[in-house]
Amino acid sequence: MIAKNNVKDALSLYFISGTQDTDRDLHTVLEDALAGGITAFQYREKGAGSLTGKDKEQMARTLQKQCRQQNIPFIVNDDVDLALAIGADGVHVGQEDSRAEEVRLQIGPEMLLGVSAHTISEAEHALQSGADYIGVGPMYPTSTKSDAKDVCGPEMIASMRNANIDLPIVGIGGISAENAQEVIAGGADGISLISAISTANDPREKAAVLFHQILTAKQKR
Ligand SMILES: Cc1ncsc1CCOP(=O)(O)O
Ligand SMILES: C=C1C=NC(C(F)(F)F)=NC1=N
């Protein structure tokens, strides 16, 4: 179980993927990304052709093992039952209905709870619901999530900080090596991304470049 006192560091370079996000074997992509220096991984199996049931559980268990070997937190998107069944380090849920409070009761105080937030009020609600971190976005246009909300940009993170929201925040949506620094400059503790790594020719190299960008941006703050 990840120590809750260094969630901000753990979220510096937060890779998210499901089998739908790459043409390669996801295990290989994750292995490369871990070698490149990602600090957290979220298994997000979503959309047409995604794994379900036992296949999904087996995939989750093998990916979790890869993360465990590197002492990297393994988070499950949405599927709380799966997260509990395999003893994941955390779950990430959307803001819809009062899901976050319910999920916190289901997972207990130890597991990490991540909540998506698109506005200051959603961020405050997530905080009250017991979230350990919030994912704010989309930072930039993205084609990875078809139902993504309007682009809010790193400015949204800055306004959350000005509203004294000091929960760990990761920016998400359309993040690449070219704009990662802006997201950190906006006040994020880390960046989370899918396609920049899942579709990279060399996921290891890409992760290393992104990690360096984040360190550089954090030193400039
Ligand atoms: C899951 C999610 N939530 C907001 S945007 C997004 C997709 C991010 O994918 P990418 O990093 O490829 O833009
Ligand atoms: C929709 C999402 C929004 N944010 C995040 C995270 F980056 F983890 F915070 N994960 C998601 N699946």
Cβ distance 176 to 9 under 8 Å?
A: no
Report the nearest atom of ligand 1 relative to the CA of 142. Answer: 13
Report the nearest atom of ligand 2 relative to the CA of 135. Answer: 9
pLDDT of residue 1: 58
- Burial-class residue 208 by CB neighbours within 10 Å (0-12, 13-18, 19+): middle
Cβ distance 32 to 204 under 8 Å?
A: yes
pLDDT of residue 97: 67
Cβ distance 73 to 91 under 8 Å?
A: no
Query: Would you state the structure tokens that stand for residue 6, as one six-digit string?
Result: 């260094």
Nearest CA to ligand 1 atom 13: 174
pLDDT of residue 68: 98
Nearest CA to ligand 2 atom 12: 77
| Pick from 135, 90, 86: nearest CA to 110 | 90
Pure H helices in the chain: 7-10, 26-36, 53-69, 80-86, 99-107, 120-128, 154-162, 180-185, 195-198, 203-220
- Which DSSP string do the residues of 121-151 spell out, in sequence order? HHHHHHHHTT-SEEEE--SS--SSSTT----
Strand partners, 179: none
If you measure from the C-alpha of residue 161 to the centroid of ligand 1, how many angstroms do you get, rounded to a whole number? 22
pLDDT of residue 138: 97
If you measure from the C-alpha of residue 211 to the centroid of ligand 1, how many angstroms do you get, rounded to a whole number? 18
| Pick from 27, 43, 39: nearest CA to 212 | 39
Tell me the longest C-alpha to C-alpha distance in the chain.
46
192 is catalytic: no
Per-residue pLDDT of the chain in tens (221 residues, 90 and over written 9): 567 789 999 999 999 999 999 999 999 999 999 999 999 999 999 998 899 999 999 999 999 999 999 999 999 999 999 999 999 999 999 987 669 999 999 999 999 999 999 999 999 999 999 999 999 999 999 999 989 999 999 999 999 999 999 999 999 999 999 999 999 999 999 999 999 999 999 999 999 999 999 999 999 98
- Which one of the listed residues 145, 159, 195, 218 is annotated catalytic? 145
CB within 8 A of 49, min separation 6: which ones?
19, 20
pLDDT of residue 220: 94
Q: Which ligand is nearest to the CA of 116?
A: 2
Report the amino acid identity of residue 115.
V
44 is catalytic: yes
Cβ distance 204 to 35 under 8 Å?
A: yes
> How far is the first Cα of the chain from the last one, in angstroms, to the nearest whole number?
30
Pocket mutation for ligand 1, best pick of 13, 14, 15, 16 (most atoms within 8 Å of C-beta): 16
Q: In whole angstroms, what separates CA 152 from the centre of its chain? A: 17
Query: Would you state the structure tokens that stand for residue 13, as one six-digit string?
Result: 């370079």
Q: ipTM value, please give it.
A: 0.99
Residue 195 in contact with ligand 1 by CB distance below 6 A: yes
Nearest CA to ligand 1 atom 1: 145
If you measure from the C-alpha of residue 100 to the centroid of ligand 1, how many angstroms do you get, rounded to a whole number? 20
Report the nearest atom of ligand 1 relative to the CA of 44. Answer: 1
CB within 8 A of 9, min separation 6: which ones?
39, 189
116 is catalytic: yes
CA distance 151 to 208: 26
